[in-house]
A and B are shown apart, each in its own frame.
Chain A
Amino acid sequence: MLLISLLVTFGWAIVVPFLWRIWGRRGGRMGVLLPSALFVFYAWRLSSGETATECYVWAPSLGIEMALHFDGLSGTYLLLITGIGALIALFAVPYEIPARHVGGFDSLMILFMGAMQGAVLADDLMTLFVFWELTSITSYLLIGFESEKREARSAARQALLVTSGAGMAMLFGFLVLGELAGTRRISELHQHADAIVGSPSYAPILVLIAIGAFAKSAIVPFHFWLPNAMTAPTPVSAYLHSATMVKAGIYLLARLRPTLSGTDLWFLLLGAAGAATLVVGALRVVNEFDLKRVLAETTVIGLGALLLTLAIPTPFGVQAFAVFLVVHALYKAALFMIAGAVQHSTHTRNLRELSGLWRAMPVTSIAAVLSGVAMMGMPPMLGFIGKELIYEATLDAPKFAPLWVAAAFTGNSAMVIGALLAVHHVFFGRGLPATEIAREPPPGMLVGPCVLGLLSLAFGIFHDAIQSVVVQPSLRAVTGAEVGHELELWGGLSSSLVLSVFTVAAGITGYHQRYRLIRLARLIPGVLRPRFENGYRFVLEAIAWSATTQTRVIQNGRLPVYAAVLVAVGASALAISAIRGPRVAWAGTFDTTVADIVSGAAIFLGVGVAVSARGRFAAALGVSLSGFGLGILVALLGATDVALAQFCAESLLLVAVVLATRRTAARYGPSQRSAGAFLALRAAVSAAFGAAAALALLRATSAPFEDELSSHFIENAVEVARGHNVVDTILVDFRVLDTLGEITVILILALALWPLHRGRAGRVAGSETRSPP
């Protein structure tokens, strides 16, 4: 069932564009059907409390299997992915996206949904990696969807390079981890936890995997890509970059927590990164004046908080993680959709131009208040419980508790500031004339924020529901036990409650003294200034410089040089293998037939013509002649198939060369001055290649002929591959994967030549329309 739900999602990605094309917006709304159905399915699976594992053959020779595992943690994520996905799909229908009618956008969103489901369902490290990278790629395409915008392209590239570049480190960590544990099944890894943690490879494994996870989840020092990704259409920001994809890194660490945690390294690495992210995000949020970037910076804070809770080695930490995961996804997706609605109505996201929208957009402002209050962590919202749990977990930390509490306090206060900016300022601030034209967005855009806001409220009041359906199963999945606090809105006068009160007070003060905070943040070096981003730029520029330099040297545009280098390298390779081969023992005989002599003469004649020719056309004919001679020789030796292919390829090659020579000078060769040296060099290279090839051939035939493989093919051709042409059975059956690779190369070549063909045709057509009659 799990695999089917994945396949159905990917299939839906193909169907959705047609819904758009046939029924327009109505068809777009139908796109919601599948995510909703999947949500119901996963909710049913999760509430039944059963885990499930499915395993399919994928690449058995590489030890890779398509293993899927459903438990409380993946179930929680799946509910967020499909539930919020359905609301976003509905929200996105009226949202203005260029070339929307083609349906590519919605297709990509569903494709991402499938990839994300795969990532959290994967039970095999390689399966996880494949889906993980697929989310990076879909994210790249979605951030850069409005590809005519320069900043969209560069943000997309940045997100892709940062996340998948770090993904390489993660892959390496996976491989070492899999080798060490002797299995790549994630659900079996924790059985080997002691051996893994005790091994000297433990620290590299953890660091490598953490790099991948941190980059994906925009943890310091990779935090810069997330706010830049806000150039994406708002449905993308709401879905990928607040509720789902950015939480994949956190997911991975939660998933591997049973295997890799329990050490100081885990605690301090994750804790320090989480705390740093909380503080850096807090400092950056006050300096943002774009509504979506404000929300993005608070997402960074939220991700830092999630990481910090995972670092803390108590079950309370995991419980805080499970609750805050849901809390954050609910309010953040809602606020992003509200930001999209505001932009839809006012055509701006600039906080300097947005204020006092509540008169014009009363329903939107109610939804905004619900989510804003949840984000501030005020009772009776679920957000309050989440924040309380974060404080309790940090207070409970075995080491450096004050440090974690201080980081959490900073981050949470900045959350309050962000919520006030996004809700109080935008909707209830002093009205600006520019916002008077605003009106309520279409109802489809309001469903999501309203539903999510009400859920934040409902789960806050009926928190037992979330405790039993989501939190306990997640706890069981991550810690193996169902320990944890009872969720409660009123837990008496505790230190966490006092902290909460101070948090809100600090946030409100900070909101009113925002410009002082900006000055304060500017004093701290490297936080507001894009120091980390400069690192990224430096790497990028270094790569570009090195590529340009290499290209200038290697690809100098001189065809004779290319040919000479290629042939010389080939000659060296052949020479090395020939010298290292067995001794040459002449085993050949000279009982040649007339036909052999004729075809051999054709080869020599062709070579002679090619060498002595003064024009390209004659030279091409000469080369072709020797090719045909070789074909005849091969045919005489009994390799009909090879000869046939040789003849066909030779004919077409001749056509291609002749066509190409039409555009080059008829005569070729060097200028008179350097003619001698040039010819000598060419002759030397050619002779060396010929000699090396001949020597290699002699060596090869001198060795005792190993016919195990060929007799295997011959014996099994009819029986296994059901063909009498052994060459063909090798091509399309025994070694078919090789053939697939080869024809892919042909396709790539064709695609590389394609612009030459189409581009020219287009230009010709264009010039025709412009030319005077």
Chain B
Amino acid sequence: MTSLLLRLASGVLLPLFLVLSAWFLERGHDEPGGGFTGGLVAVGGLVYFALVRGPGAFEERLRAASESVAALGILVAVSSGFVGPLFGRPFLTGIWWAPGFGTPTLFELGVYLLVVGGAGTALLALLSEET
């Protein structure tokens, strides 16, 4: 897969995918979108990139190991749950600091990261099966 056209397209499409995914993530609480969808879109872009430029390109773009991103995601999601108990509320209770920014936002970010890392790991496992 060394077609010049594909290489060029992957370079142009990846930022588009990432912007789209960030947009989905940001608007998710009020409009269609959300961390899960956003994460899948990002993985789609990265996987396309990796299909064209080789499995290594995925994590090179991500600048981290995919499983670390997944672990970071669960860390963020679970940590957001512990904000509630700090204020004497049950685990995972939504706490809002500003309009549009609260622990549900953090949780959403955790889901996003987890999907990017988790689905990324799964697809990379299949990608790198090439011998």
Question: Is the pairing of A and B real?
Answer: yes
State the A residues within 8 Å of B (CB). 57, 59-61, 640-641, 644-645, 648-649, 651-652, 655-656, 659-660, 662-663, 720-725, 727-729, 731-733, 736-737, 739-740, 743-744, 746-747, 749-751, 753-754, 756-757, 760-761, 764
User: Are A750 and B43 in contact (CB-based, < 8 A)?
Assistant: no
Query: Contact at A640–B34, with CB atoms within 8 Å?
Result: no
Smallest Cβ-Cβ distance to A763: which chain B residue: B131
Contact: B32 with A746, CB < 8 Å?
no
Sampled A-B contacts (29; CB under 8 Å) = A60-B90, A644-B24, A645-B36, A651-B44, A652-B40, A656-B123, A659-B123, A659-B126, A722-B29, A724-B31, A725-B28, A725-B30, A725-B31, A728-B29, A728-B34, A732-B108, A732-B111, A733-B94, A736-B104, A740-B81, A747-B73, A750-B120, A750-B122, A751-B70, A753-B121, A753-B122, A756-B129, A757-B125, A764-B131
Partner of A731 from the list B34, B74, B81, B96 (CB cut-off 8 Å) is B34
B126→A660 contact, CB < 8 A: yes
Number of chain B interface residues as a range: 35 or more
The answer to whether A641 and B128 touch across the interface, beta carbons within 8 angstroms, is no
Task: Give B contacts to A, CB under 8 Å.
Answer: 24, 28-37, 40-41, 43-44, 47, 51, 55, 66-67, 70-71, 73-74, 77-78, 81, 85, 88, 90-92, 94, 96, 99-100, 102, 104, 107-108, 110-111, 114-115, 117-131
- Choice from B44, B96, B122 contacting A749 with Cβ under 8 Å: B122
Most A C-beta atoms less than 10 A away, residue of B43, B96, B129 = B129
CB-based contact A656/B88 at 8 Å: no
Residues of A within 8 A of B99 (CB): 722
Taking CB as reference atom, which chain B residue is nearest A642?
A: B32
A59 touches B29 (CB 8 A): no
**A737-B92, A757-B124 known; A644-B37 Cβ under 8 A:** yes
A538–B51 Cα distance when bound, in Å, is 51
Extra contacts besides A721-B104, A750-B120 (11): CB < 8 Å: A648-B37, A649-B40, A652-B44, A725-B28, A728-B28, A732-B104, A743-B114, A747-B73, A747-B114, A750-B66, A760-B128
Contact A652 B119 (CB under 8 A): yes
Closest 8 CB pairs of A and B: A648-B40, A723-B29, A750-B118, A757-B125, A659-B126, A756-B125, A724-B30, A750-B121
Cα distance, A737 to B30, chains bound together (Å): 20
- Tell me if B111 and A757 are in contact (CB < 8 A): no
| Inter-chain contact A659/B37, CB cutoff 8 Å | no
B40 touches A724 (CB 8 A): no
Task: Indicate if the CB atoms of A749 and B41 lie closer than 8 Å.
Answer: no
Once the chains bind, are B104 and A750 in contact (CB under 8 Å)?
Answer: no
Q: Is the beta-carbon distance between B74 and A744 smaller than 8 angstroms?
A: yes
List, in ascending order, chain A residues with CB within 8 A of B90's CB: 57, 59-61
Q: Which residues of the other chain, B, contact A722 by a CB distance below 8 angstroms?
A: 29, 94, 96, 99-100, 102, 104
Q: From B127, which residue of chain A is reached at the shortest CB distance?
A: A659
Q: Which residues of A contact B110 (CB under 8 A)?
A: 743
Residues of B within 8 A of A721 (CB): 94, 104
Q: Are B104 and A641 in contact (CB under 8 A)?
A: no
Q: Is the CB of B85 within 8 A of A57?
A: yes
Within the complex, which residue of A644, A659, A727, A746 is in contact with B119, where a contact is CB–CB below 8 Å?
A746
Task: Give the residues in chain A near B34, CB-CB below 8 Å.
Answer: 641, 645, 725, 727-728, 731-732
Q: Across the interface, which residues of B come within 8 angstroms of A733, CB to CB?
A: 94, 104
B83 CB, min distance to chain A CBs, angstroms? 12
- Known contacts A724-B30, A725-B29: does B118 contact A746 (CB below 8 Å)? yes
Cβ contact within 8 Å between B37 and A645: yes
| Distance between Cα atoms of A201 and B70 in the complex (Å) | 47
Min CB gap B111→A, angstroms: 6
Q: Shortest CB–CB separation between residue B64 and chain A, in angstroms?
A: 14
Minimal Cβ-Cβ distance residue in A for B31 = A725
Cβ contacts under 8 Å, A720 to chain B: 94
Q: Which residue of A lies closest to B24 (CB)?
A: A644
* Whole-angstrom CA separation of A640 from B32 in the bound complex: 6
A737 contacts which chain B residues (CB < 8 A)?
91-92
Residues of the A chain whose Cβ atoms lie less than 8 Å from the Cβ of B92: 736-737, 740
| Cβ-defined contact, B30 with A723, below 8 A | yes
The answer on a CB contact under 8 Å between A750 and B81 is no
B88: min CB distance to chain A, Å: 7
Q: Is A57 within 8 A of B88, CB to CB?
A: yes
Among A727, A728, A750, contact of B70 (Cβ-Cβ < 8 Å)? A750
Docked CA distance A760–B47 (Å): 18
Question: Given A728-B34, A736-B104, does the pair A662, B29 have CB atoms closer than 8 Å?
Answer: no
Q: Within 8 Å CB of B40, what residues of A?
A: 645, 648-649, 651-652
Central interface residue in A663, A737, A746, A761, by most chain B CB within 10 Å: A746
Q: A724-B30, A732-B104, A733-B104 known; A754 and B121 CB under 8 Å?
A: yes
CB distance from B89 to the nearest CB of A (A): 8
A residues in contact with B125, CB < 8 Å: 753-754, 756-757, 760
List chain B residues, Cβ under 8 A from A753: 121-122, 125
- Which residues in B have their C-beta under 8 angstroms from that of A749? 118, 122
In the complex, the chain A residue whose C-beta lies closest to that of B56 is A761
For residue B118, which residues in chain A have a CB less than 8 angstroms away from its CB? 743, 746-747, 749-750
A59 to B37, alpha carbons, bound, how many Å? 31
Report the separation of the CA atoms of residues A747 and B100 in the bound assembly, to the nearest whole angstrom: 27
Q: How long is the Cα–Cα vector from A93 to B112 in the complex, in angstroms? A: 43
A757 touching B30 by the CB < 8 A rule? no
How far is B28's CA from A756's CA once the two chains are assembled, in angstroms? 33
In the docked arrangement, what's the CA distance between A744 and B81, Å? 14
Nearest B-chain residue to A720, judged by Cβ: B94
Contact across chains for B123 and A652 when beta carbons are under 8 A apart = yes
The smallest C-beta distance from A675 to any residue of chain B, in angstroms, reads 29
CA distance A662 to B88 in the complex (A): 54
CB B120 to nearest CB in A, in angstroms, measures 8
Q: In the complex the two chains form, what is the Cα distance from A652 to B88 in whole Å?
A: 41
- Min Cβ gap A432→B in Å is 53
A750 touches B117 (CB 8 A): yes
Contact indicator A736/B37 (Cβ below 8 Å): no
* A729 to B100 CA separation, bound complex (whole angstroms): 12
Contact (A659, B29) CB under 8 Å given A722-B102, A747-B71, A749-B122: no
**Structural contact, A655 and B28, CB atoms closer than 8 A:** no
Tell me, in angstroms, the Cα distance from A424 to B107 when the chains sit together: 63
Contact (Cβ within 8 A) B29 A732: yes
* Residues of the B chain whose Cβ atoms lie less than 8 Å from the Cβ of A740: 77-78, 81, 92
Q: Which B residue's beta carbon lies closest to that of A718?
A: B30
The interface residues of chain B lying within 8 Å CB-to-CB of A651 are: 40, 44
Bound Cα distance A725, B27 (Å):
9
Q: Which residue of A lies closest to B117 (CB)?
A: A750
Residue from B67, B73, B78, B129 in contact with A754 in the complex, judged by beta carbons closer than 8 Å: B67
Cβ-neighbour of A724 out of B29, B35, B55, B73 (below 8 A): B29
